[in-house]
Structure 1
Amino acid sequence: MKKNTYKQVCTVMAPYKKKGIPYRRKQIQRLLTILEDIFEHEPNLHDELERIGRKQIIGYWRRTEGESPTTRQEKYKVLCLFFEAANLRGHVPYPK
């Protein structure tokens, strides 16, 4: 992920990340890992957050099918928060 994209994500999620709440810090780290994976496996995105959509997220869910349902639920929640905070179009598909 490019430095500019990283800064955009941190700026968008700044109100969510509060000092002294380790769970939220963990969720931000999860979000950055998810986005890193999506940008790595989808070369046509060119590190543009606006281009992330349903297809890319479904691809991510398929690549991480081995994770526990609890982990996938927490990742789903942070992705929903990010999409809402960044005003990205579309919605996050629920992991199956």
Structure 2
Amino acid sequence: MQKNTYKQMATLMAPYLKKGIAYRQKQVRRLLAIYDDIFAHEPYLNDEITRVGRKQIIGYWERTKGESSAVRKEKYKVLCLFYNKANLRGKVPKPK
């Protein structure tokens, strides 16, 4: 992930991290890992947050089928939160 993209995501999630709760820090690390994985597997996105959509999220869920349902549920929650904070269009597809 490029430095600029990381800064954009950190800026959007700063109010969420403000309290310093360890769980929230873990969730933001997960969010960064999700986007890092998506950008690594889909180079045509050019590290633009707004270009990540339903197809890329579904691809991520397919690549991480081996994770437990609890982890996938937590990742889904942080993705939903990020979509709301970033005012991105559409809904986050749920993992199966």
Say whether the fold is shared (TM-score over 0.5). yes
Give the Cα–Cα distance (whole angstroms) in 2 for the partners of residues 16 and 77 of structure 1: 13
In structure 2, runs of 5+ residues without a counterpart are: none
Cα deviation, residue 43, structure 1: 1.1
Give the Cα–Cα distance (whole angstroms) in 2 for the partners of residues 90 and 21 of structure 1: 29
8 A contact 1:13–1:82 mirrored in 2: yes
Moved over 3 A (4+): none
Q: TM-score if structure 2 supplies the norm length? A: 0.98
Structure 2 letter corresponding to 1:10: A
Structure 1 letter corresponding to 2:48: E
Q: TM-score if structure 1 supplies the norm length? A: 0.98
In structure 1, runs of 5+ residues without a counterpart are: none
Identical-pair percentage: 70
Q: What does residue 42 of structure 1 align with?
A: 42
Structure with the largest fraction of helix: 2
